[in-house]
Amino acid sequence: MLLSAIPLLELRVGIPYGVANGLHPVVATIAGIAGNLVQVPLILGLLWGLRRVSRYVDFLGRFFAWCDENARKRSQLAVRFGWLGIGLMVAIPIPGTGLWTGALVGQVLGLPIVRVAMGMGLGVFLAGVLFGLASAGVLELLSSWDLLTTQP
């Protein structure tokens, strides 16, 4: 759960780590999702607060201009599907499509913060289920490989 609450590590590390260390895949998935969901209100509060301060602090304004440009490049799903699109984008397990990007895209598109939070939560849930299934499958594959390679 703690690993999943750390930005950049998140579910991608937390769930496989839990499964590899003996947690049942369902327990590791639930703990990973819960840990990752902790970030949602923190990220939203931080970004919305910094956005207000950026009006008065030049380097923050330039930083958000850069962030907004990058968020616009990744906003196709959210433009098309709104908060559900943010959820799908957050669920995609590749760099640059996580919670921070989802929050920035929601800001850039002017979506209500509650809808952005719903999309981020949906994305965390979907990603957690995918990583839980993958972790359980890899564990099963490794255990069956050990049975196949063991000499009598």
Residue ranges in the chain modelled with pLDDT below 70:
138-152
48 Cβ contact list (under 8 Å, min separation 6): 107, 113
120 membership: H or E segment, kind and range: helix 113-149
Q: In the prediction, which pLDDT does 149 show?
A: 55
Q: In the prediction, which pLDDT does 20 show?
A: 87
Q: In the prediction, which pLDDT does 98 show?
A: 83
Outline where DSSP puts E strands in 25-144. Answer: none
pTM of the model: 0.81
CB 52 within 8 A of CB 35: no
